Amino acid sequence: MDLKILPGISSPADVKALPLDQLPTLASEMRQAICAQVQKSGGHLAPNLGVVELLIALHHVFDFGHDRLLFDVGHQCYPHKLITGRFPQLDKLRQRGGMGGFPDPSESDYDLFMVGHAGTSISTATGMARGDTLRGEGWSPDNPGGRRAVAFIGDASIVNGLAMEGLNHAGTLKRQFLVVLNDNGMSIAKPQGAVASYFDRLRVSNTYRSVKRAAKGVMSSLPGGDTLRDWSHRLGEVAKDMVTDDPWFEKFGLLHVGPVDGHDLPGLVETLATVKDFDLPIVLHAHTVKGKGFEYTESNATAFHSPKPHSVQGCRVEVASGGRSFTSAFGDALCELMERDGTVTACTAAMPDGTGVQKAIERFPDRTWDTGICESHAADMMAGMAKTGLRPFFAVYSTFLQRAFDQCFQESSLQGLPLRLCLDRAGLVGGDGAVHHGFCDVTILRSLPGAVLMAAIDEQSLRAALEFMRTHDDGLSAVRYPRADVDERLIDAGCPPFEIGRARRLREAGRPDVVVLAYGVPAMTALDAAASIEQDLTVEVWDARFSKPVDTRLIASTLERGIPILTIEEQGRIGGFGAAVVEAAADQGLDASLIERAGLPDSWIHQGSRDEQLAEAGLDVPGIVRSIRAAAGRRTRVAEPPLVESPDRTAAPTG
């Protein structure tokens, strides 16, 4: 890789100092560097390749050491990070000590928010614009040294409900405010909904094809265009040629400029230089190509949205292979449910590949939907289907479920409707870091009366949980599973059906020193930990299966014998599975001091490998061994009552 300009970029000032004719070379070098690193480490590739020119132009025109730049989603920030001096950290992208995959104020003052969820930039930028104005620091013609505000939004985030709310309020601003809409005709996958179709029409309309026509002709053709003519006069010769009569943005109170070519660096610089000093809210609509610069990323931007490490050999791309993922297992299991039961429907919110739902979309297109980045709508739509007697499944990342909690409460749980939640990426997610960890789904869903919450430990238990959910029509249910490959060690043991509120024994001990109740995949790690210390301590391991309701009979029979319990979960300890076990013990008048809890700490765990994150949380084998020993230390010294038969109703093998 022959990089001549990029290594010398230590701040946006270096970009501003470059002659305009060198900016395309810088853009090419940035694409090369990003692509080469993502091939090694994985990461968000196509979204970043598509915004290189836009971000170069923005930094060339604005001073974001002083002005405000707010990102949406955040997975389009790599070029911004390279411009703001983080090229030396690129070689450890998404790793400990390296460049994070999302904006992060701890990395740089140029990052104003840590952000990885869609729809937020317009609202936070509006807040900063209002705050700067109230403090006398906002830009205006009377305060030319003030701060300007720019919201950068793309990958179809504009259709998110929060973005709509932000636009609605941004239109009331009486000051400079710029929304840069990166319209690449894509979301994470194919964009969905009426707004996406509207932008498709706009991109190919006569307005777009004739955007360079004379300003006088444009303005005279606009109906009742006195206001637009006045705005265009104030904008100047460059931008007024691109003012369009766009009723969608106009209804929000924002002037619409474009669409412009988001890869035309000289044109972008010229346009931005003109609109930056306009003292009313503007949307600059830029048309870009997701994955720009490489044939394989342009032709398959969905597959290369956030690929694993891969190599490119001529026209062939080889992606690093791994084991069978929980996501893939879920996709197959969902299709089997839909094949057997015509009342089963499914949806996802912009993550058909990421959740495995794409398989069902292809096989059952009349019963499966991608709603776009609209988690709240998806949950409510599924609740509506449940009201008609269908059996809806909503596949969503645990971290994005948070955005639909109100709908899970009001339209599902409160109504007693059986919304079925399939929570992918539950727990620690590796390189995406804190913005994407699924650390609180148990906590928030446990608060809903009548909710039934489960976790899978392998593919067989995932299928069994889904089958239980299929016929559970009494209210909201959920199953969680991690961003990991399925463990196949129990594949020949069979998997008993899920029985509400009952755990499954995985490792038997006649008179255990410690009983481990593990919720989800930590059960497999607990088996390894128990085996590693069997010379010192006798440990019984149970797959808890349910965090609501928990197995109260098992808890009682264990504590009544004075045997300590260790709970393990890949979820926050506050309000999680362990807390549910402690509450169940207290409710039965049992000694809850015998319960030791292991789970995610009350602190943020940042980017790194999933193994590193599990070790930090104490959920690897050495960490669980420490927790087992701590639990054993809680054992009471009182005389123990006679051994009572354990309430095990399964034929599961011992460890």
SS (HEC) of 607-621: CCCHHHHHHHHCCCH
Q: Say if residue 378 is in the same domain as residue 241.
A: no
243-247, 271-275, 298-302, 441-445 — which is least confidently predicted? 243-247
Provide the pLDDT for residue 158: 85
Q: What is the CA radius of gyration of the chain?
A: 27
Measured between alpha carbons, how far is 110 from 293 in angstroms, rounded to an integer? 26
Phi, psi for residue 62 in degrees, rounded to 5: -95, 165
> What is the pairing mode between strands 316-319 and 68-71?
unpaired
Sheet with 281-287: list strands edge to edge: 68-71, 149-154, 177-183, 281-287, 255-261
Secondary structure letter of residue 232 according to DSSP: H
- Candidates 403, 507, 545, 548; catalytic one: 403
Provide the pLDDT for residue 413: 96
Q: Is residue 454 part of a domain?
A: yes
Q: Say if residue 246 is in the same domain as residue 340.
A: no
Secondary structure letter of residue 74 according to DSSP: S
- Candidates 29, 53, 107, 375; catalytic one: 375
Instruction: Indicate whether 346 pLDDT > 90.
Output: yes
Residue pair 575/446 in contact by the 8 Å Cβ criterion:
yes
Q: Say if residue 283 is in the same domain as residue 177.
A: yes
Provide the pLDDT for residue 594: 97
Per-residue pLDDT band for 400 (boundaries 50, 70, 90) equals very high
Is 375 one of the annotated active-site residues of the chain? Answer: yes
Measured between alpha carbons, how far is 397 from 213 in angstroms, rounded to an integer? 46
> What is the pairing mode between strands 68-71 and 149-154?
parallel
Q: Say if residue 284 is in the same domain as residue 238.
A: yes
Q: Is residue 655 part of a domain?
A: no
User: Could you tell me which residues come within 8 angstroms of residue 180 by beta carbon, excluding any fewer than 6 positions away?
Assistant: 54, 58, 150, 151, 152, 153, 284, 286
Q: Say if residue 264 is in the same domain as residue 361.
A: no
Report the b/e string of 463-485 with b at 16+ CB within 10 A.
Answer: bbbbbbbbebeebbbbbbbbbbe
Q: Find residue 284's DSSP bridge partners.
A: 180, 257
Q: Is 519 helix (H, G, I), strand (E, B) or coil?
A: strand
Provide the pLDDT for residue 161: 85
Q: Which runs of E-coded beta strand occur in 415-490?
A: 420-424, 452-455, 477-480
Nearest CA to 130 out of 70, 208, 204 is that of 70
Question: 261: which 2 tokens?
Answer: 């070519």
Q: Say if residue 333 is in the same domain as residue 280.
A: no
Per-residue pLDDT band for 213 (boundaries 50, 70, 90) equals very low
Measured between alpha carbons, how far is 455 from 459 in angstroms, rounded to an integer? 11
Burial classification of residue 91, based on how many CB atoms lie within 10 Å of its CB (0-12 exposed, 13-18 middle, 19 or more buried):
middle
- Candidates 175, 290, 292, 545; catalytic one: 290
Measured between alpha carbons, how far is 114 from 103 in angstroms, rounded to an integer? 5
Amino acid at 59: H
Q: Is residue 272 part of a domain?
A: yes
Task: Give the tens place of pLDDT for each residue, 187-211.
Answer: 455 555 545 555 555 444 434 333 3
Measured between alpha carbons, how far is 170 from 127 in angstroms, rounded to an integer? 9
Q: Is residue 609 part of a domain?
A: yes
> What is the pairing mode between strands 514-519 and 539-543?
parallel
Q: What average pLDDT does the chain have? A: 87
Task: Give the tens place of pLDDT for each residue, 137-150.
Answer: 999 999 999 999 99
Q: Is residue 316 part of a domain?
A: no
Instruction: Indicate whether 228 pLDDT > 60.
Output: no
Instruction: Indicate whether 325 pLDDT > 80.
Output: yes
Q: Where are the alpha helices (DSSP H) in 301-374?
A: 326-340, 352-355, 358-363
Q: How far are the Cα atoms of 34, 266, 291, 377, 531 from residue 528, in angstroms, in the given order?
A: 39, 60, 43, 42, 5
Q: Is residue 618 part of a domain?
A: yes
SS3 percent helix, strand, coil of the chain, rounded to 5, is 40, 15, 40
* Cα end-to-end span (Å), the chain: 51
> What is the pairing mode between strands 595-600 and 504-507?
unpaired
Q: C-alpha 343: how far from its chain's center?
A: 29
Q: Say if residue 402 is in the same domain as residue 533.
A: no
Instruction: Indicate whether 619 pLDDT > 60.
Output: yes
Q: Give the count of domains, the chain.
A: 3
Q: Is 494 helix (H, G, I), strand (E, B) or coil?
A: coil
Q: Say if residue 281 is in the same domain as residue 338.
A: no
Provide the pLDDT for residue 307: 79
Question: 516: which 2 tokens?
Answer: 């481990």
CATH number for the domain including 194?
3.40.50.970
Residue pair 605/571 in contact by the 8 Å Cβ criterion:
no
Provide the pLDDT for residue 306: 75
Provide the pLDDT for residue 160: 85
**Domain coverage including residue 441:** 326-480
Q: Say if residue 174 is in the same domain as residue 99.
A: yes
User: Could you tell me which residues come within 8 angstroms of residue 535 by beta carbon, excluding any fewer than 6 positions away?
Assistant: none
Q: Say if residue 226 is in the same domain as residue 87.
A: yes
Question: 112: which 2 tokens?
Answer: 């104003």
Q: Is residue 649 part of a domain?
A: no
Provide the pLDDT for residue 608: 92
Q: Is residue 515 part of a domain?
A: yes
Length of the chain: 655
Task: Give the tens place of pLDDT for each residue, 519-552.
Answer: 999 999 999 999 999 999 999 999 999 999 999 9
> What is the pairing mode between strands 539-543 and 477-480?
unpaired
Question: 114: which 2 tokens?
Answer: 């840590």
Q: Say if residue 466 is in the same domain as residue 596.
A: no
Q: Say if residue 83 is in the same domain as residue 190.
A: yes
**What is the arithmetic mean of pLDDT over 242-266?**
80
